[in-house]
A and B are shown apart, each in its own frame.
Chain A
Amino acid sequence: MSKSFPGTTAVRDVSFTIERGEFFSMLGPSGCGKTTTLRLIAGFETPDADGGQVRLLGAVVNDKRPYERQIAMVFQNYALFPHLSVERNIAFGLEQRKAPHRVPKAEIADRVRSALQLVRLDPSTFARRLPAQLSGGQRQRVALARALVLEPAILLLDEPLGAIDLQLRKEMQLELKSLNKQLGTTFVYVTHDQEEALTMSDRIAVMSNARVAQLGTPAEIYENPRTAFVAKFIGESNFFDGRITERGAPGKGAGAWCEVEAAAGGHFRVPAQNGLAPGQSVRIAVRPEWLDIVPPASVPPGENALRGSVRDVVYLGETMHVVVTVRGGGDVTVAVRNEGQLINPLPWKRGDDAAVAWRPEDCQILEDE
């Protein structure tokens, strides 16, 4: 689909298929088009005239209004009706059903109660309260209950956990994930928090500048980022520029490879991508946790390496970051697991000579954006 507003293209040729029951996330920085895409799915926006289609459950729904689509939505700021109590909020959708789908009052009351229990709010305490009397986390659950009570085929969630503090957020992420599996409802989730997306999703569409930069499972996105943007946005990455000097055929146990001469000096062997030929300039990404820091003379055979000296050692709790200034300029960050600095400290300190090394298959050549 494509969608433009006066002065800007919000969504450009975005295309994907979401499986039934999947937890699908759209991840990206503000302005990347993820919310607009969600609103296109919801029906609050329509694609441009020649800008593609939205198909829900097999049918084209471009000209169907949100209330004609089989969706329910949880908004970023919850959008609870301030003038209605919790139970009236949740009952709202059920009350809109007209004959022949009319829901009798008794059933509404039952389903409201179940919905509250589903989101782990005690009906007897919360049913009569007003949204203004609830905490952020409670409001979020009510918003969720209000959507789920309708047993929608598709649930859209627009950064629902943004305003909630860290501890509660982590709890709710797991709850959402479990609800997805328990109910079999398709979840379409929008967020700018990459950790959140990695935690909950079956697949992630990483978006930037109105396009999908990469679509894949969390593992694919994290371990094989395709562009510099994805490599930077998800987790951390070190980048090296270079030129391809040689391209080699698959050998035993390994796929096709390339030799790259780094701009900063040194040669690397990296997995080849299609369409790359000697002479081409490329950018390579390696994640800090796949780098090892070793004494210059102890680089394991077959690994790529760069020589340099330690600039900084940063304590991060779970990991230690060793920042190495490599020959040719530039800093490389190596992540080492923290085995306890009090009992088993890292042997590295500022000024030490070191080499950073990694296995060829732990890096990627990035596509141009």
Chain B
Amino acid sequence: MTRAIPRWLIVFTGIVLFLMHLPVLVLVVFSFNSSKFAVDWTGFTTHWYARLAEREDIVNALRNSLIVGVTATIIAVALGTLIALALARHRFRGKTLYEGLMYVPIVTPEIVTGISLLVMFVFLRFPLGLTTIVVAHVAFSIPFVVVVVMARLAGMDENLEEAAMTLGADEITAFRKVTIPLLWPGIISAALLTFILSFDDFVITSFVAGSGSSTLPLVIYSMVRRNIEPSINAISTLIVLATTILLYVAEQLTREKKAHA
């Protein structure tokens, strides 16, 4: 684009972007505020962060969130990648329909997904807990992994596996030595994003967690409802930080990676 962007547009964009980030920035700043109630700045402290470590409910919830996140990510990425490979490589009857149906979970409101899973678990008298949470997270993550991996596959030359086969590699070897290395950054990226989705999920988790288990978002929610204190700011800041880092890494990976010789 050779022409400069109109001045007003730059200003407008700047304002909008600033406003988009302002609330969270404020949150982060005030997580270091030593005053508990007032929004007055009374001094810098990391007291609220220390308090987080003392609270058993938060520590437990964090641990659960991590367990659920990692487990759900591994399962979802594995299953989703398989589906993506099948969809990208093969023709079969009903394929378009299947692809279309893949998108339905993505547009379904979280409330509906959460409720329907709750209803089903209760119907089957399946106890609610970490397992049901993992199950639910995998269910809403798979379509997402499929979409991301398929996008990556689409950018990949389909002749590459064939070329490997003309050079003497059988299907499995070709897959291992050509497809996987090229797909890998996409898979990792999908994994990181799935983890973020799982870690941050509130609505669906709140329905399928049952009374015994808690994840970080659930704890934060109850903290917000009950009693506002800067600890919430602190844990929020940590979450935002973690998300930013993971996102940055995922972004770096999706860019055309430098290959190894």
Q: A and B touching (C-beta < 8 Å)?
A: yes
Task: Identify the A interface with B (CB < 8 A).
Answer: 42-44, 65-67, 71-73, 75-77, 79-85, 87-88, 92-93, 96-97, 128, 130, 132, 146-147, 150, 156
Task: List chain B residues, Cβ under 8 A from A150.
Answer: 167-168
> A97 vs B160: C-alpha distance in the bound complex, in angstroms?
19
18 extra interchain contacts, Cβ-Cβ under 8 A, other than A96-B167, A147-B166?
A43-B165, A66-B166, A67-B165, A67-B167, A67-B170, A71-B166, A75-B163, A76-B159, A77-B157, A79-B159, A81-B163, A81-B164, A82-B182, A84-B261, A87-B261, A93-B167, A128-B261, A146-B167
Contacts A82-B259, A150-B168; A96 near B173 (Cβ below 8 A): yes
Task: List chain A residues, Cβ under 8 A from B178.
Answer: 81
- With both beta carbons as reference points, the residue of chain B lying nearest to A152 in the complex is identified as B166
Task: List chain A residues, Cβ under 8 A from B170.
Answer: 65, 67
> A46 vs B190: C-alpha distance in the bound complex, in angstroms?
36
Per-residue CB contact flags for chain B residues 20-56 toward chain A (1 = under 8 Å, else 0) read: 0000000000000000000000000000000000000
Q: Which of B163, B166, B169, B181 has the most CB of A within 10 A?
A: B166
> A347 vs B123: C-alpha distance in the bound complex, in angstroms?
98
Cβ contact within 8 Å between B261 and A92: no
- With both beta carbons as reference points, the residue of chain A lying nearest to B166 in the complex is identified as A73
Within 8 A of A (CB), among B156-193: 157, 159-160, 162-171, 173, 177-178, 181-182
- With both beta carbons as reference points, the residue of chain B lying nearest to A146 in the complex is identified as B167
Task: List chain A residues, Cβ under 8 A from B256.
Answer: 132
Interface flag for B7 (CB, 8 Å):
no
> A75 vs B166: C-alpha distance in the bound complex, in angstroms?
10
Our pick among A67, A83, A96, A97 for the contact of B259 (Cβ within 8 Å) is A83
Task: List chain A residues, Cβ under 8 A from B181.
Answer: 83
Task: List chain B residues, Cβ under 8 A from A75.
Answer: 159, 162-163
Cβ contact within 8 Å between A72 and B160: no
Cβ contact within 8 Å between A77 and B165: no
Main secondary structure of the interface of A (DSSP, over half): loop
> A224 vs B154: C-alpha distance in the bound complex, in angstroms?
46
> A66 vs B168: C-alpha distance in the bound complex, in angstroms?
7
Task: List chain B residues, Cβ under 8 A from A67.
Answer: 165-170
> A48 vs B173: C-alpha distance in the bound complex, in angstroms?
27
Cβ contact within 8 Å between A79 and B261: no
- With both beta carbons as reference points, the residue of chain B lying nearest to A82 in the complex is identified as B259
Cβ contact within 8 Å between A42 and B166: yes
Interface size in chain B (residues, C-beta < 8 A): 23
Q: B255: shortest Cβ distance to chain A, in Å? A: 13
Cβ contact within 8 Å between A44 and B167: no
- With both beta carbons as reference points, the residue of chain B lying nearest to A127 in the complex is identified as B261
Q: A49: shortest Cβ distance to chain B, in Å? A: 19
Task: List chain A residues, Cβ under 8 A from B260.
Answer: 83
Task: Identify the B interface with A (CB < 8 A).
Answer: 157, 159-160, 162-171, 173, 177-178, 181-182, 256-257, 259-261
Q: A311: shortest Cβ distance to chain B, in Å? A: 47
| Shortest 10 CB-CB contacts between residues of A and residues of B | A93-B167, A96-B168, A83-B259, A79-B163, A79-B159, A85-B261, A73-B166, A66-B165, A75-B159, A67-B168
> A80 vs B157: C-alpha distance in the bound complex, in angstroms?
9
- With both beta carbons as reference points, the residue of chain A lying nearest to B185 in the complex is identified as A83
- With both beta carbons as reference points, the residue of chain A lying nearest to B163 in the complex is identified as A79
Task: List chain B residues, Cβ under 8 A from A87.
Answer: 261
Cβ contact within 8 Å between A92 and B165: no
Q: Which of A72, A83, A87, A150 has the most CB of B within 10 A?
A: A83
> A97 vs B168: C-alpha distance in the bound complex, in angstroms?
7
> A125 vs B7: C-alpha distance in the bound complex, in angstroms?
49
- With both beta carbons as reference points, the residue of chain B lying nearest to A69 in the complex is identified as B166
> A43 vs B167: C-alpha distance in the bound complex, in angstroms?
13
Cβ contact within 8 Å between A130 and B261: yes
- With both beta carbons as reference points, the residue of chain B lying nearest to A88 in the complex is identified as B261
Cβ contact within 8 Å between B163 and A96: no
Q: Give 25 pairs: A residue, B residue, CB < 8 Å, sorted on A.
A: A42-B162, A43-B165, A44-B162, A65-B170, A66-B162, A67-B165, A67-B167, A67-B168, A71-B166, A72-B167, A79-B163, A81-B160, A83-B182, A83-B259, A83-B260, A84-B261, A85-B261, A87-B261, A92-B167, A96-B167, A96-B173, A97-B168, A147-B166, A150-B167, A150-B168
> A43 vs B170: C-alpha distance in the bound complex, in angstroms?
12
> A161 vs B98: C-alpha distance in the bound complex, in angstroms?
39
> A72 vs B168: C-alpha distance in the bound complex, in angstroms?
9
- With both beta carbons as reference points, the residue of chain A lying nearest to B181 in the complex is identified as A83
Q: Which of A79, A88, A97, A150 has the most CB of B within 10 A?
A: A79
> A163 vs B170: C-alpha distance in the bound complex, in angstroms?
29
Cβ contact within 8 Å between A72 and B182: no
Cβ contact within 8 Å between A84 and B165: no
Q: B173: shortest Cβ distance to chain A, in Å? A: 7
> A106 vs B182: C-alpha distance in the bound complex, in angstroms?
28
Task: List chain A residues, Cβ under 8 A from B166.
Answer: 42, 66-67, 71-73, 147, 156
Task: List chain B residues, Cβ under 8 A from A76.
Answer: 159
